[in-house]
Amino acid sequence: MLRSLLPFPILLVGLVLWAPGNQAQHCRLVPKQQVQLGTIPQAPLSGAGNNTSSGSVQPSQTAPTSTSTSPSAMPFNYGKDTIRGVNLGGWFVLEPWITPSIFENTNNSDIIDEYTFGQMLDPDYALDVLQNHWNSWITEDDFIAIKTAGLNHVRMQIGYWSVPITSDYTNYTTSVSPYVPGAWPYLLRALNWAKSHTVHVILDLHGAPGSQNGYDNSGRRGSANWAQGSNVNRTLDIIRFIAEQVGGMIDVLELLNEPAGYQSDIGGVVSGYWQDAYHAVRQVAGTSLKVMIGDAFLGVGNWDGFLTAPSAQGVLMDYHEYQVFNYNQLGFSQDEHITSSCQVLNNLKAYASSNLYTVSGEWSNAITDCAKWLNGRGVGARWDGTWQSGQQVFGSCDGYSGDSSTFSSDYKKFLRKYWESQVAIGEAVQGWIFWTWKAENADDWSYQKGLSGGWIPQDPTNRMYPNICS
């Protein structure tokens, strides 16, 4: 339970948050009007509907001030218009490499993810830190800057522990301990900012019960236990709740980020989950809300003919491409990084031509794993040999990550070329979303720093190397 309580009701996007004296009363949610399901062709996908559905907030949460809930004036024409966007990583799901200061300030090296952050800290302190972070890491000014940079989408991450589902909407536990909930009101405010500045939103369930991949970006580093017990069914109820509550405020709902399909138990349930979650969204949000799935690390070819029209519609495929997490790719020359990007382009284009609309939903400018704690808090880099002894060492990390003031002009020139090669992937299919907008000390991963540093153009359609993959 959160310790920060309001002594008075606040109206947030049409929902009253009651003071502690009313805690015994459930927050009753009003379902959206059901939309008749149909068999709309896959191409093109229409944008999100204009219904604005508000989200519920648990009585004990402190809410930021609400802004207007008027929807975007123009829906996005998926399949015709190109998605050009950026992830807002590290905001509602902590990642130690994006905001290392939050973890360093705990003075406890055993705090390695959001799970241990809630588990090992005083609840009042943890909540205070998180509320300050939710209130300041991304602000309305960032949405304005994103729009000014010519981008039309943000992909926003949420952990299941921040979704205020109640026992009225699930037969499974609603406990999220030891996670610290409370981000939901800040998410609602962010959705209003996006609407105000005509930035379209992909909302991504980034962390599921049990962890879908064992990465710290799922909320809990270690074992991936999502396929165990009731976790999958619990996730279905959470997705249904999200779709019902904010389906009218977002354009695309991503059913789960990066489930570890290479792990046999998860690989055995993920296709069924995609199907069940798709139908759950359709039941409560109709056909205007688009649905996004991922390749679960199995490659898009594994999903040939899956959730395609006419049995399903309004589904997009999310593909993630990084070239820094294995020794073979770290050994690439700069030209080989470009070549690898162009090979991905051809693979995705072939898939998208006869399957789902496809988005390159995560990628970065990094060609090393040198960003501090990229591989986990307290874990070094493969690049300089600090990750594991006895492995290949590629050189010093100096000048490759961290503060871009250390980047050489030649390196910045390459970063521009590499950025264009990866943008070419997304432009060849249905779009792209860079990871991530900002990071405390990893400028090779920051779109914001790329803009100010000159290796990302102010206009994302500007090309210095227009035929880079020709």
User: How does pLDDT run across 206-222, given as a tens digit for each residue?
Assistant: 999 999 999 999 999 99
- Please state the rounded mean pLDDT for residues 128-138: 98
- Whole-number Å distance between alpha carbons of 73 and 70: 8
pLDDT at site 24: 29
Burial of 67 (0-12, 13-18, 19+ CB in 10 A): middle
| Tens-place pLDDT, residues 393-428 | 999 999 999 999 999 999 999 999 999 999 999 999
Q: Which of 370, 318, 363 is closest to 456 using CA atoms?
A: 363
Please report the pLDDT score of residue 60 as a whole number: 36
Q: Once rounded to an integer, what is the mean pLDDT over residues 93-104? A: 98
Give the whole-number percent of the chain exceeding pLDDT 70: 84
Confidence check: pLDDT of 48 > 50: no
Indicate which residue of 95, 114, 244, 258 is catalytic. Answer: 258
Catalytic residue (one of 114, 244, 321, 362): 362
Range among 42-51, 68-77, 423-432 rated most confident: 423-432
258 is catalytic: yes
Judged by average pLDDT, the poorest of 3-17, 156-170, 260-274 is: 3-17
Q: Tokens at residue 199, please?
A: 């930035």
Give the mean pLDDT of the chain. 88
Mind listing the pLDDT tens digit for each residue in 318-377? 999 999 999 999 999 999 999 999 999 999 999 999 999 999 999 999 999 999 999 999
CA-based nearest residue to 194, from 316, 72, 361: 72
pLDDT digits (tens, 9 = 90+) for 228-241: 999 999 999 999 99
pTM for this entry? 0.87
Q: What's residue 74's pLDDT? A: 79
Task: pLDDT band for 448, please (50, 70, 90 cuts).
Answer: very high
Residue 238 to residue 201: CA distance in whole angstroms: 18
pLDDT, mean of residues 79-95: 98
Average pLDDT over residues 289-312: 97
158-198 pLDDT tens trace: 999 999 999 999 999 999 999 999 999 999 999 999 999 99
Per-residue pLDDT, 64: 59
254 is catalytic: no
What is the reported pLDDT for 3? Answer: 29
